[in-house]
Amino acid sequence: MFYSRHGPAPSARAVGCVRRNNEAGVAAGKAAQMQMRASSQGLSGPGKVALTGVCFDGSGRARGQAHAPQALREAGLLAALAGRAVLVPDVVVSRPVPDRGSFGFLNERALLEMVAAVYDRVRTALDSGHFPLVYGADCAVLLAAVPALADAAGSAALMFIDGHEDATPMEASTTGEAANMEVAFLLGLTGKQAPEPLRSLAGVLGPEAIVMLGMRDQHYRREIGAATIAGLVRLLTADDVHADPARAASEAAAQVASQAPGWWLHIDLDVLAGKEFRACGAANDPSMPGGLSWAELTTVVSSALRAGGCRGWSIGVYNPDLDPGLYSAGQVVNFLAAVLGGRA
């Protein structure tokens, strides 16, 4: 409803205390200049990295992933990207409700507010020639980020790095957690029963426009009765990535870059092995052995960015409740600095 192709943007009221940032309209020539300058750094489009924290927890916990932005900043996110990043205000939504709403989503009101606000932030950053980096929350941010890129660039593609497929149709979900469904929405495999804007975004990506890396959720999917979408899209399991991380990433990047003027990069940190990253439940799920190491993830993302065409990035599913000393937050910050080259 609020996407440019479907009607006007939402009012600030719809997104709680978040104020909208109206900086859209950088002249095409200036944007092209920025793009040329940025391409030497492996990113397409950014004048600066627009650091966009999202204070939302998909399961409606009081803290959880909603406190990720604050914890990552406490761990030094800004200093690590000094000179390369601008901080934009966090997306803040209604108080969490750990129950399903009238459409069946968990923490539904906050979810819909989050989607509206993240869409707005990503769109503003892109229209201003920046490179949005969405941090915090969970994979449901893709329900906003991918349509925002598609609207800004004409069409979008997605490199999706996650331990799970996240392709459960909403009709089949037993939990109502949008972060298990977002890929099904983006591909148009579900969404007819959803409220706007989710209904209209369904199908924003064709099957060629997504490449999925790092899955190891066969036991989980068997438990919930969700079939794999490996026959529909290009999907490399965690084992496929272990075999040759750089090649997996560069081939994935070549595919997504061929499908749209810009592609989005998404990382669910549960793609990491539990022994590498303790601050998310799923990475430590005993039914999901064999996750990536930080070294592998760094290789994957560096290779992918080097291929060019990436216009924005989201990284989520860090839970500071599982990270009392901020050790894991420091790992995330160091990783971002390493791949974005912030430490000059």
Site residues, Mn ion (CB under 5 A): 139, 162, 166, 268
- HSE at residue 128, side-chain half, CA atoms within 13 A, is 19
Give the residue among 112, 94, 92 at the shortest CA–CA distance from 104: 112
**Strand segments (E) across 68-121:** 85-92
Q: How far is the CB of 64 from Mn ion (least distance, A)?
A: 15
How far apart CA 313 and CA 197 sit, in angstroms, is 21
Q: How far is the CB of 3 from Mn ion (least distance, A)?
A: 23
Q: How far is the CB of 268 from Mn ion (least distance, A)?
A: 3
Give the residue among 45, 329, 316, 1 at the shortest CA–CA distance from 182: 316
Indicate the residue among 108 and 217 with the shorter CB distance to Mn ion. 217
Q: How far is the CB of 262 from Mn ion (least distance, A)?
A: 21
Indicate the residue among 139 and 336 with the shorter CB distance to Mn ion. 139
Exposed/middle/buried for residue 263 (C-beta within 10 Å: 0-12, 13-18, 19+): buried
Indicate the residue among 71 and 315 with the shorter CB distance to Mn ion. 315
Residue with tokens 């092209």: 32
Q: How far is the CB of 171 from Mn ion (least distance, A)?
A: 19
- Which two tokens mark 47? 């004048």
Indicate the residue among 212 and 310 with the shorter CB distance to Mn ion. 212
What is the distance between the terminal CA atoms of the chain, rounded to a whole angstrom? 43
Bridge-partner residues for 91, per DSSP? 54
Indicate the residue among 212 and 340 with the shorter CB distance to Mn ion. 212
